[in-house]
Amino acid sequence: MATGIIFNIQKYSIHDGPGIRTTVFLKGCPLRCQWCHNPEGQSPEPELALWPSRCLRECQECVSVCSRLALFKHDSFPTLDKDKCDLCGECAEVCPSRAIEIAGRQVSVEDVMKEVEKDLVFHDESGGGVTFSGGEPLMQPGFLQALLEGAKKRGMHAVVDTCGSAQPAVLDRIGDKVDLFLYDLKVLDDEKHRRFTGDSNKIVLENLRKLDKGGKAIVVRIPIIPGVNDGEKDIREMLGFLQSLENSHRLSLLPYHDLGKEKYRRFTLPYKIGSIQAPSRELIERIKKRMQSSGFEVTVGG
């Protein structure tokens, strides 16, 4: 039986495809987008998450139980030495305030399907279904394929939310089992894409062209990040590429927000993009109208 690692199953999701959906978040991503709001999805392995705001200042339970001495209190808050931690989970088990949690757990396809099936009434009434997101779900191709097959057996509408950074053979394995791709397109300039995501966009563009040519249902999702891809040159290049596609006419603009910033502290990760302001409504509306005037169906968010 196929198994994989997930870090969340989100109920009643309305931004991950049509209708009311259940979104399954698979762990692991090949990119390191500086604005990523799900840093817990980046590593393919389970991780320890620390919630300083939940910590009971005088409590020492986690420190006392850690046989590897990986945890200590600093300014009354738990601090982790990742090199010493073996993810045994004992600290999370004894924490009385859930200030320590393990992000990521191994599950079977049946485990996931049983959870998703609880929401079938909402799916049926709203035209929804199940969405596989991340991280990057294509990082676990065998598990994703088995999940999609499980969804199809149950008559569920299946969406895959992807950054497209995977070998084309992976998309070949799953393409006929996916009802809709939510496909992230971040930056057209390859050097800038490398600088802000850690990798080239060549395979991302190649895969999108291939899916489009194959007539797959696609919504291209474009995060609007101030100072990264909201300039005149960026928008012009984006439109030029999108207009070269044959069948993909639906776009979704995703305005930057920093709601995931606090998560970086929990996982002792740097928030590399720093302090930037969310794009103004005027800017988003201007980009939306420009793309609509080029023949695209454009929504904001979701």
Per-residue pLDDT of the chain (302 residues), as tens digits, is: 799 999 999 999 999 999 999 999 999 999 999 999 999 999 999 999 998 889 998 899 999 999 999 988 877 778 888 899 999 999 999 999 999 999 999 999 999 999 999 999 999 999 999 999 999 999 999 999 999 999 999 999 999 999 999 999 999 999 999 999 999 999 999 999 999 999 999 999 999 999 999 999 999 999 999 999 999 999 999 999 999 999 989 999 999 999 889 899 888 899 999 889 999 999 999 999 999 999 999 999 87
pLDDT at 179: 98
Q: Does 89 lie in the same domain as 130?
A: no
One domain for residues 152 and 39: yes
- Whole-Å CA distances, 301 to 75, 220, 254, 257, 288: 39, 12, 5, 11, 11
* Encoded amino acid at 133, one letter: S
Q: How many CA atoms does the CB half-sphere of 62 hold within 13 Å?
A: 34
Q: What is the domain range of residue 123?
A: 3-44+105-300
In whole angstroms, what is the distance from residue 263 CA to residue 255 CA?
19
Domain boundary among 103, 122, 142: 103
pLDDT score at 94: 95
The pLDDT, as a whole number, for residue 151 is 97
Please tell me whether residues 201 and 79 are part of one structural domain: no
C-alpha dihedral (157, 163, 168, 174), degrees to nearest 10:
-20
Check which CATH number belongs to the domain holding 97 and give it. Answer: 3.30.70.20
Same domain, 65 and 25: no
9 and 35 within one domain: yes
**226 and 150 part of one domain:** yes
Does 88 share its domain with 159? no
Both 119 and 218 in one domain: the answer is yes
